[in-house]
């Protein structure tokens, strides 16, 4: 099983407990696990983080492009599964609508386990 990470995973890690200079082992772990095929993100997440132009953006910009997957027609079944999960769990409709409209929707707004390949 591969893990697909949302922007919040990177942003919260940097801002809270795993600062780039404070806990480099976390960031090294991400790189190592991406190389092993167990951790990825999507291009929209890359774009979102790069738009801020900070240390995290610099780190993201140095990653191999294969870290950030393109969302194409093969992704649609997984996106449908995330959408069904969100709409089928008795969440407030406004929250579901926001969840499905966010820029990084392919990850469902958080790190979500999505079958890859």
Query: What's phi and psi for 43, nearest 5 deg?
Result: -60, -35
Whole-prediction pTM: 0.72
pLDDT band of residue 111 (cuts 50, 70, 90) is: very low
CB atoms inside a 10 Å sphere around CB 59:
16
pLDDT band of residue 16 (cuts 50, 70, 90) is: very high
**Quick one: pLDDT at residue 117?**
44
- Give the model confidence (pLDDT) of 46-96 as tens digits: 999 999 999 999 999 999 999 999 887 887 787 788 888 888 888 888 888
β-pair partners for 112:
4
CA angle 19, 43, 96 (to 5 degrees): 85
CB 18 within 8 A of CB 53: no
What the block records as the tokens of 31 is 């790189």
Q: Cα–Cα distance between 33 and 39 in angstroms, integer?
A: 5
């Amino acid at each position: 099983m591969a893990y697909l990470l949302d922007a919040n995973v990177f942003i919260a890690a940097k801002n809270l407990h795993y600062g780039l200079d404070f806990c480099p082992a976390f960031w090294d772990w991400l790189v190592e696990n991406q190389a092993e095929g167990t951790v990825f993100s999507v291009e929209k997440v890359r774009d979102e983080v790069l738009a801020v132009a900070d240390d995290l953006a610099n780190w993201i910009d140095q990653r191999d492009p294969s870290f950030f997957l393109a969302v194409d027609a093969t992704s649609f079944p997984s996106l449908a599964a995330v959408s069904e999960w969100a709409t089928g769990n008795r969440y407030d409709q406004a929250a579901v609508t926001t969840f499905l409209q966010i820029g990084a929707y392919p990850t469902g707004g958080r790190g979500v386990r999505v079958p890859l390949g």
